[in-house]
Structure 1
Amino acid sequence: MDVPTGFDPTFILALNLAGTFVFGLSGGLAAVRARLDLFGVVVLSGVVALAGGITRDLLIGTPPATFRDWRYLAAAGAAGVVCFFASRLLERVQRGVLLFDALGLGLFCVTGATKALDFEIGPLPAVLLGAITGIGGGMLRDVLLREVPTVLRHELYAIPALLGAAVVVAAQRADSTSPVFPALGAVVCVALRLIGLRYGVSVPTARGRPDDGEEPDG
């Protein structure tokens, strides 16, 4: 389990499982909207909940942690089942799901960067691996649904994860082991994500060519 320095492992485990469940909900809801069957909904929940951490561990060169603790698989599977049978209720509380999704993103980008640093990965790769932990599952979800990944099109999602991970890496490079910095990294990530949701802030997108269906200027 990936535990930032100075934090209680039991507390981090509880947060990790909660984040896994909420990420699973986002995948399950996408699967329900795509009209997949029960197996497809559970699979897509697992993809979103676990793929980011699995990708990080494979890139680091260590056995994926989620395969060594059945509770992560159980949390992801439970999210899929809940989505299949209670999707209408979840759609009505979508704002709450987005809030917890943001909290999960903040937690995963920090723990992902922490694990990368524990394996003596360099600063920039550690930041990237921290972000991948948070956004990798969502990107794979969109690919499986034959869509351009959301993080590459609009919304503040990848950038908050990168900045949150960067806070942890910068603190480690400064030889700080204070738990304040992992907490700060998570807060930065969550705050930017929520600001983007609240005010519709997004990264500028490329303009299509005139032959892509847009009228030329002038």
Structure 2
Amino acid sequence: MFADINITTVLDLMGTFAFAISGIRLASGKNIDWFGAYIVGLVTAIGGGTTRDLLLGVTPFWMLDAKYFITTGVALIAALLFKDRLLRWGNTLFLFDAIGLGLFTIVGISVSLEAELPFWVCIVMGGVTGTVGGVFRDVIINEVPLIFRKDIYALASITGGIIYFLCYQFQFPDAVSEVIAALTVIVIRIIAVKFHIHLPILKSINSEDR
């Protein structure tokens, strides 16, 4: 099950753990039981990749390998063991979400490149892989999806995809391109939150504004 692990698989598992933690951490404030928290974490971790695979017309990745379920279980155990510390760290959800976004963006691009799709499609698939799981998570726990708020989120994913493309054009080694692009997404997300950089909010449009 864990044989033939390459850099993309490592990033995939790290992203799974990070997104699962973010989902479980958010679920902890909703009076959800352990099993419910596991489901929220799992949906967060596999939602984007599942959507990507369905769009690509292939069997969703988690149906072919149980390690994503196991990794989510490890994330739940870690959250339970370090519950007090996680609850004290106000930025824990954001940090794990940023890491998951960066790692999953690159996984989505890599999988799409293997399918020999145009690079612009690969960037879109990277965004889908990185953001849709969070959308499912937020819908399940009755929150406005983060991607639809003013936060720099999807744009960070797209920027990381463009950086990956530039590295690819300059013929960087795949592992180097993946790490640089993932770090770009994570750093952009962290800087945007730290310095309150965000997109303008679309204000209400009605007859009184005319």
Output the TM-score relative to the length of structure 1. Answer: 0.82
**How far is 1:195 from its partner?**
0.3
Give the structure 1 partner of residue 89 of structure 2: 93
Aligned length: 206
Distance in 2 (CA, whole Å) between partners of 1:65 and 1:76 is 15
Matched, 1:135 2:134: no
**How far is 1:45 from its partner?**
0.5
The question of whether the paired residues in 1 share the 8 Å contact of 2:106 and 2:181 is answered with: yes
CA gap 1:87/1:208 in 2 versus in 1, 3 angstroms: farther
Q: Deviations over 1:16-40 (max 9, x none)?
A: 3222112111111222212122221
CA gap 1:153/1:114 in 2 versus in 1, 3 angstroms: same
Give the structure 2 partner of residue 125 of structure 1: 121
Give the structure 1 partner of residue 102 of structure 2: 106
**How far is 1:161 from its partner?**
0.7
Matched, 1:178 2:149: no
Counterpart residue type for residue 178 of structure 1:
P
Give secondary structure in 1 for the equivalent of 2:91.
helix
RMSD (Å), alpha carbons: 2.7
The question of whether the paired residues in 1 share the 8 Å contact of 2:22 and 2:96 is answered with: no
Distance in 2 (CA, whole Å) between partners of 1:82 and 1:9 is 23
Give secondary structure in 1 for the equivalent of 2:31.
coil
1:19-98, aligned counterparts within 5 Å? Answer: 19-83=15-79, 86-98=82-94
1:134-213, aligned counterparts within 5 Å? Answer: 134-172=130-168, 174=169, 176=171, 178-179=173-174, 180-209=176-205
Q: State the percentage of identical aligned residues.
A: 31
Q: Deviations over 1:105-141 (max 9, x none)?
A: 2121112111111102222221111011111110111
Give the structure 2 partner of residue 5 of structure 1: none
CA gap 1:146/1:48 in 2 versus in 1, 3 angstroms: same
